[in-house]
Amino acid sequence: MTGERGFTLVETLVAFAILAVVLVALYDAMGTSFRTFHAAAEVNEAVLIAQSQLDRIVALKRLPDETQGKVDGTPFQWRLDIRPQSEAQEKQQANSPLSAVTVRLDVTWPGRARAQSVSLERLLLVPRQPGG
């Protein structure tokens, strides 16, 4: 049967094996890209939450009473750290009705292997506290 054209059974099996290896590699790459996209979306949401909380403080024009909380309906938690300026800077601006403070807002959420977090800092001028 010389002269017949076509693929032998061995050639077909080798082609299917190569196709299977390529498909598994593509499937793994797709899974990795989806996980990376999901992680980036979580970081983006955390940054938006932190910016929103800091903007809320700026709009209040005073330091809030609450320094931590949870964002309803999400796994995100936030914590506010307020640090006054140094004593030397405070003495220089003793006559000012405003005081400069550094506000740091940390947003945390559970990750796949460990907790994830994002931090934003902003320097704010707030009304000086009585006696301070």
Tokens 């938006």 belong to 48
Burial 54-64 (b: 16+ CB within 10 A, else e): beebeeeeebe
Q: Is the pLDDT of residue 89 over 70?
A: no
Q: What pLDDT is attached to residue 2?
A: 63
- Name the band, by pLDDT with cuts 50, 70 and 90, for residue 62: confident
Residue range 77-95: mean pLDDT, rounded? 77
User: pTM for the whole thing?
Assistant: 0.69
Domain ranges of the chain: 9-127
48 or 62, which is more confident: 48
Task: Show Cβ contacts of residue 15 under 8 Å, excluding neighbours closer than 6 positions.
Answer: 7
- Distance between terminal CA atoms of the chain? 102
Q: How large a percentage of the chain has pLDDT more than 70?
A: 89
- Name the band, by pLDDT with cuts 50, 70 and 90, for residue 85: confident
Q: What is the overall mean pLDDT for the chain? A: 87
